[in-house]
Amino acid sequence: MPDLQQHARTDAAHSTADQTPTANTRARGARRGLGLVERYAVPGLLVVLVIGFSSFPATAAAFPTRTNIQNLFSGQAVLGIAAIAVLIPIIAGKYDLSVGAVLGASSLLGAGLMARNGIPPSAAILIVLAAGIVIGFVNGYVVAYLGVNSLIVTTATATVISGFVLWYSQSQVITGIPLSITDAAIGEWLGVPKLVFGFALIAVLAYLMLRFTPYGRYIYAIGSNSRAAGLVGLNVPRLTCSTLVLSSALAALAGIAQLGLQGSASPQLGPGFTLPALSAVFLGSTTIRPGTFNVAGTVIAVYLVAVIVNGLTLAGASDWVQPAFNGLALLAAVILAAVISRRRARRAPAT
d(CA 213, CA 244): 18
* Arithmetic mean of pLDDT, 122-133: 95
Confidence of residue 175 (pLDDT cuts 50, 70, 90): confident
Can you give the pLDDT at residue 4? 46
Is residue 307 a contact partner of residue 72, using CB atoms and an 8 Å limit? yes
Average the pLDDT over each of 25-34, 65-74, 100-109, 223-232 and give the range with the smallest value. Answer: 25-34
Residue 351 above 80 pLDDT? no
CB proximity list for 245: less than 8 A, separation 6 or greater: 133, 136, 137, 140
Average the pLDDT over each of 21-30, 34-43, 99-108, 264-273 and give the range with the smallest value. Answer: 21-30
pLDDT tens string 227-239: 999 999 999 999 9
Is residue 236 a contact partner of residue 229, using CB atoms and an 8 Å limit? yes
- Residue 174 pairs in a beta bridge with 265
Average the pLDDT over each of 193-197, 198-202, 322-326 and give the range with the smallest value. Answer: 322-326
Highest mean pLDDT among 47-56, 154-163, 337-346: 154-163
Share of the chain above pLDDT 70, in %: 84
Can you give the pLDDT at residue 283? 87
Can you give the pLDDT at residue 271? 82
Which among 96, 170, 163, 108 is positioned nearest to 135, based on CA atoms?
A: 96
Can you give the pLDDT at residue 8? 47
Higher pLDDT, 246 or 288: 246
pTM for this model (two decimals):
0.85
Domain 39-344 coded CATH 3.10.20 = no
* Annotated domain spans of the chain: 39-344
Alpha helices in the chain (DSSP H): 2-55, 66-91, 99-115, 121-144, 150-169, 179-186, 194-212, 214-224, 226-231, 236-262, 274-284, 295-314, 321-350
Q: What is the mean pLDDT of the chain?
A: 85
Dmax (CA) for the chain in angstroms is 105
